[in-house]
Amino acid sequence: MATLTKLPSGKWRAQVRKAGIYKGATFATKQEAKNWAASIEQYAAHVAVSGFAPPPKGATLADLIEKYISTATGEIGKTKAATLKMLIRRLGHVKLSMLSAAVLRDFIDERQNEGAGGVTVAADLSFLSAVLKWAKHSRRLDINDRLALEARESLKHRGMNTRSTEREREPTADELAALYEFWKNNQRQKIDMVVLVKFALATGMRLGEICRIRIDDINSVHRAVLIRDRKDPRFKAGNDQLVPLFPDAWEIIREYTEGRTSGVIFGAKASSVSTAFTRACKKLKIQELHFHDLRHKATADFFRSGLDIPHVALLTGHKTWAMLRRYTSIKAQDVHNAYQRVSNR
């Protein structure tokens, strides 16, 4: 039961102790104090029965998403950040108490009518699911954290394909030669794109990883480099890996670090490198080639050279064979070549 006390000032003090919850507040009238105490007791009873707190009265999905963003412990990537902003625009007005399967059904309808494909809508719902799970298990709110997951599962019943087409694009020798020649003859090109592309092909590293390498990340004893906070689907922060460098990559590192004791090795921003790569491909009319495709070729070349899965996984940072498999691109001739090498031992 709530305790109501009239203060010398004429105001009323309400205190509630229930189910481990203690709250107190002062009001101008006794009725206001009673109403407040009743709402707190109802809240406490809800927590006692379910173990979760009801969403704050009037709280919207926008409030929840904004709280999620402000308290995120890890870095929120550009795609996720943009999607969360879109969800705020589209669904932010929905009160948490009114969030339902019907609301998400209508959201999917709208996205479909706009021309969004299954992969895009599935990603929208996956990011929303992350917010709902966070609300349930981190904020302990009594909210259906499976709503977005179930909506995502409904996409297949709509005939929407939620699996993206895996890229198998690799640069050809002629394309690489043309790119190298283009950059060598471009006096306005400040970034050493030839070196960066060759380093990417020799290591299989992501562009962001290459541009983050610092002098003090180099391990000369083991001819390796420490990649900090390597991309991971669950735990990126603190996911540091010491990755060996093959001779071609080590020679590039040696040349760029000679006489230096600090700073990033290549001195280029990932966004600038990506832009320069795309611009060169456009000038040379090289179709559908991205910088990330260099990682695809490097990974496939590791396998073609005879390296096994654990060794390639260490180089590329992939956690499972399922994640690594899409980069293999092993062809029939590659198998014959590998067999020939084994037979000649």
CATH number at residue 322: 1.10.443.10
Half-sphere exposure for 237 (CA within 13 Å, toward CB)? 5
Half-sphere exposure for 88 (CA within 13 Å, toward CB)? 14
Q: What is the pLDDT of residue 328?
A: 65
Q: What is the pLDDT of residue 74?
A: 62
Indicate the residue among 100, 131, 158 that finishes a domain: 158
36 and 116, same domain (yes or no): no
Within 10 A of 10 (CB to CB), how many other CB atoms are there? 8
- On whether residue 315 sits in a domain, the answer given is yes
149 and 196, same domain (yes or no): no
Within 10 A of 39 (CB to CB), how many other CB atoms are there? 12
The count of domains in the chain is: 3
3-state secondary structure of 297: helix
pLDDT greater than 90 at residue 153: yes
User: Mean pLDDT, to the nearest integer, of 284-304?
Assistant: 92
Bridge partners for 13 per DSSP? 5, 26
- On whether residue 133 sits in a domain, the answer given is yes
Indicate the residue among 132, 158, 184 that finishes a domain: 158
Q: Cα–chain-centroid distance for residue 32?
A: 47
Domain that includes residue 107, residue range: 61-158
144 and 256, same domain (yes or no): no
44 and 182, same domain (yes or no): no
Q: How confident is the model at residue 233 (pLDDT cuts 50, 70, 90)?
A: low
Q: Which amino acid is at 343?
A: S
148 and 210, same domain (yes or no): no
- On whether residue 258 sits in a domain, the answer given is yes
CB distance 14 to 34 below 8 Å? yes
Structure tokens at 306: 């005879």
200 and 233, same domain (yes or no): yes
pLDDT greater than 60 at residue 185: yes
Whole-model pTM: value is 0.60
CB distance 175 to 154 below 8 Å? no
- On whether residue 163 sits in a domain, the answer given is no
CB distance 168 to 329 below 8 Å? yes
- On whether residue 45 sits in a domain, the answer given is yes
Residue with the larger pLDDT of the pair 231 and 49? 231
Residue with the larger pLDDT of the pair 173 and 22? 173
